[in-house]
Amino acid sequence: MKLEPVPGRWSPPASILLVLVTTLLSACGLSIPTDPDGTLDAVRRDGVLRVGASPSPGWVEVGDDDPTGREPELVEDFAHHLGASVEWTVAGEEHLVEMLEKGELDLVVGGLTDQNPWTAEAAPTRPYTEERTADGTKAHVMLVPMGENAFQSELERWLDGAAS
């Protein structure tokens, strides 16, 4: 591509280029973003969403049965949206993050905020809700595997609808 410096005239505009690229790619049967490890497709195909839950008062309550609370409810609804059922693993955060890294889990909840320490090991979703506490506003997130961008985008879009 050769661009000549023509002051005051940008051609072609970036937006047209983007639309063009998107159209071309969808015409080839590709969707953007795609998961490198195919998480979203696997959940839909197998009908199982593997979720790790770490106890956090109000957000994730654990007992003898499946976890309850605000986040497990959201997760159950999300799994339903994907046509899947949830397979729960209850453990401490570090252990769950490790499983997420190994590809043994698809999602981790535990009352986590955007200040969580796992950003090098796991991808936090865009904050889906904010909570005002005595220490200031806390933006809540869930953790998904690194780079599973289709799955992450699907979850974020769904949380946008669910939270409002």
Partner 1 sequence: MSRRPHGGDEAGERGYPRSRFGHTDLPEEQASALRRAVRLEIATLAFMVTAVIVVFLTMGSSQAMQTAWAEDLLALIPPLAFLVAVRRARKRPTSDHPYGFHRSTGIGHLTAAVALLAVGVSLVVDSGLGLLRAEHPPIGTTELFGHAVWSGWLMIAAMVYTGIGPYLLGRLKLPLAEQLHDKVLYADADMQKADWMTALGTIVGVISIGLGLWWADAAAALLISGSIVRDGWRNLRAASSGLMDRRARTFDDAHPHPLTLAVDDVLGRQEWVAGSRSRVRDQGHVFHVEAFVRPRAGRNVSVDDLETAVDQLRELDWKINDVVLMPVRELPDTIPDPARDQD
| Size of residue set near partner 1 by CB under 8 A | 33
Instruction: State which H helix or E strand residue 116 sits in.
Output: none
> Measured in Å, how far apart are the chain's first and last C-alpha atoms?
44
When asked if residue 163 is in the footprint of partner 1 (CB under 8 A), the reply is no
Using CB under 8 A as the criterion, what x/- string covers residues 7-46 for binding partner 1? ---x---xx-xx--x---x----x-xxxxxx---------
Helix, strand, or coil (residue 137): strand
Task: Identify whether the C-beta of residue 128 lies closer than 8 Å to the C-beta of residue 152.
Answer: no
Closest CB to partner 1 among residues 58, 157: 157
Task: Identify whether the C-beta of residue 149 lies closer than 8 Å to the C-beta of residue 35.
Answer: yes
Contacts to partner 1 by CB under 8 A: 3, 5, 10, 14-15, 17-18, 21, 25, 30, 32-37, 119, 123-126, 144-150, 152-153, 156-157, 160
